[in-house]
A and B are shown apart, each in its own frame.
Chain A
C-alpha cells in the first residue's frame, strides 16, 4: 500500500520529483486535521473530552446531592432540570464522563496491543501459531461484544476493571483479523525476504520491517476501536453494569431517566447527545485519516495520472 499520496505539484520545473523532503507519517496526521472532515471530527470529540475532563471541577452541585424536584423542568438555577430523584442534571452530566473516557482509552489500548501482537505473529509465523491464534480469534469473535462482557460480569459483578478488560479483550479478535491480513500482504513483499536473507531473527523482522508498514492500519483501527469501546461501555452502563448507583455516568443517566422522558427529556437528551457527539467525532476524524492514508481524497486528476503512468507510481 502506498501511504503517501504521490506528490504531483501543479507546475513544477521539469526536473526530478522532490528529493529528501519530509513527507512522512506525522504529516499524514496533520493532513487529516486539515481536511474539513478531520477538523470537524476532532473539534466535536475535543469539545466532549474537554467537558468531561474539566466538568467535575466546575459542576455547581455534588452529583449525588438531592437538590431539586424529581424530574423538575429546567430553570435559571438548574439549567437542565432535575433527574428522577431530584439531583441536578447539569452537575451529573459534567461529572459523568471522565470515567467512561478513561475506561474506553484503556480498553482500546488493551485491544489494539493484544490484537496487533496476535495478528502480526499469526500472519508472519504461519503454521501452528497461526492456527492456534486464529481459532482463539474465532472463538472470541463468536460472542457479540456486549454478550462477552456480560458473560464475564455474570461471575464477579460489575467491577470497572473487569468491564475494561472484557471490552478490551473483545476488541482484540477484530484487530487481529485486520492486522493479520495487512501483515500477510506486507510479509509477501521482497524487503521482508531480504531481511530474512540478512539472517534477521523473526521477532526483529516483525518489529523492524513489518510493524512500521502497519502504522496506518493500526491508527485507523485504534480510532474505530475507541468509538466502539465508548459504545459498548456506555451500553453496559445503560444496562446497569457500570459504576454503582449514586455515581453519575452518561449511560446510566439515560437508563435512569428514561421513565421521565415526557416530563424532563433533557436528563436523557443531554447525556445521549454527548455520547453521540463523542463517538461521531472520533469516527469522523478516523475516517478523515483513513481517507488521507489510502488517498481517497486524492484529486481525480492525480488518480488518473497514476493509471496512466502505471507501475511507476502505483506499485
Chain B
C-alpha cells in the first residue's frame, strides 16, 4: 500500500556504479595528460632552455670535439621531437642512459635511493595521517578546551617551521649533548637499503611527521567540527543517541572524506620535504640524489628523479580523490 505521491526518481543499481566509474576515468585521463605535460616541461627545462645543455655541462670554453661527443650521448644532435621520443621511450623500457658524472647506468644509481625514499615516505605518510586524524578528531570533540587550544598553537608553529629547522632542533635534542640517543646522520653508504639499520629512520621520519601532521590535523578538526555542528548531529542528539555514538557513528564518517583529500596534499609536502630532510640526515634517498645531481648537472639523473616525484604526486592525488569519493555516498551521484 501507501506509495507516496512524490514519486521516487531513483532507480537503484542503474545510477550507483556508473558515475563513479566515469569520474575515475576522468581523473585518470587528466592524470595522464598532466604527466605528459610534466614530462614535456622537464624535457624542455633540461635540454632545450636556454641554449645547449652540453655547453651548460662542459662550460663555455669546451672544445668543439668534446661538445660534439656529449651531444651524441645526449642525442642533442637529433631533432627536438626525436630527442623527446628517445627520452620518453627510455622511461618506459628502462634504457635511461648513463650518468654524466660517473658513467654508470642511471637506473642502477637511482633504484636503491628510490626504495629508501619510498620507505621513508610510506612510514611517514602512514604515521602522519593516522596521528593527524586522531589528534584532529580529539581537538574537535574537545573544541575550545585546553587540548584544542594547545594543539592550535602547536599546529601554528609546526606549519610555519622549515623542515631543516625542525630537523636541526631534533638533532640538537636527541643526537648531541642533551640526549645522545640516536644517530644524527646516517652512515649508510649510497646503494644500501634503509631497513638494514632501522634506527637511522627515526629522526628523518620524526621530522617529516612533525611537518605533515598539522595539515591533516587541521583539516580533520575543521571537518569534524563542521560535522559535530551539523543538523544531522543535532538530530541524532535529539533522538537520544548517546554521545559516543554521535561522535563515532554520525560525525566521524562524514569528517573522514574531506580529510582524505588533504592527506593527498600531505604527500606533496613529503615529496618536497624528503629533498631537504634527506640532506640534513645524509639519508641515501632520491632527495639527496637530486641535490647531488643538480650540483653536478647530471641531467639524466635529474630528469628521472623529477619525473618520478611528479608521477608520485599525480598518482597519489588520483588515489586520494577516488577514496574520498567512495567514502561519501552523497558524492557518488554528484557530477
Contact = CB atoms under 8 A, between A and B. Distances in A.
A–B proximity contact (CB within 8 A): yes
Interface of A: 135, 138-139, 141-147, 150-156, 227, 230-231, 234-235, 238-241, 251, 254, 258, 261-262, 265, 268-269, 272, 275-276, 279-280, 282-284, 287
Interface string B39-55: 00110011001100100
A135 B33 contact: yes
Contacts of B34: 135, 138-139, 142
A147 B291 contact: no
9 contacts: A139-B37, A142-B314, A144-B313, A147-B306, A154-B45, A154-B46, A275-B162, A276-B162, A279-B162
A275 B313 contact: no
A109 to B, nearest CB: 20
B264 to A, nearest CB: 11
B177 A262 contact: yes
A176 to B, nearest CB: 15
Contacts of A155: 45-46, 49-50, 53, 56
Nearest to A145: B272
Of B160, B168, B276, the most chain A CB neighbours within 10 A belong to B160
The dominant DSSP class at the B interface is helix
B329 interface: no
B203 interface: no
Given A141-B268, A276-B162, 13 more contacts: A142-B311, A142-B313, A147-B306, A150-B291, A150-B294, A151-B42, A154-B302, A155-B56, A235-B162, A235-B164, A238-B164, A269-B172, A272-B168
Contacts of A284: 156, 160
A276 B271 contact: no
A238 B299 CA distance: 22
A147 B278 CA distance: 13
Interface in B252-283: 268-269, 271-273, 275-276, 279-280
Contacts, number: 137
A145 B276 CA distance: 11
Nearest to B152: A287
A240 B164 CA distance: 13
Contacts of B176: 261-262, 265
A292 B276 CA distance: 34
Interface residues of B, number: 53
Contacts of B271: 144, 147
B276 A151 contact: no
B45 A280 contact: no
Given A235-B162, A279-B160, A265 B172 contact: yes
B234 to A, nearest CB: 10
A280 B161 contact: yes
A150 B275 contact: yes
Contact of A139 (B38, B56, B177): B38
Contacts of A139: 34, 37-38, 41
A230 B159 CA distance: 13
B321 interface: no
Contacts of A269: 172
Contact of A275 (B53, B56, B165, B279): B165
A240 B294 CA distance: 11
Interface in B192-234: none
Nearest to B272: A144
A280 B160 contact: yes
Interface in B271-329: 271-273, 275-276, 279-280, 290-291, 293-295, 297, 299, 302, 306, 309-311, 313-314
A251 B167 CA distance: 13
Nearest to B49: A155
A183 B244 CA distance: 39
B314 A227 contact: no
Contacts of B90: none
Nearest to A283: B160
Contacts of B163: 231, 235
A280 B156 contact: yes
A284 B294 CA distance: 35
Nearest to B290: A150
Given A151-B302, A154-B297, A142 B38 contact: yes
A283 to B, nearest CB: 4
Given A135-B34, A155-B45, A272-B169, A142 B160 contact: no
Contacts of B313: 141-144
Nearest to B276: A235
Interface string B146-176: 0000000000110111111100110110001
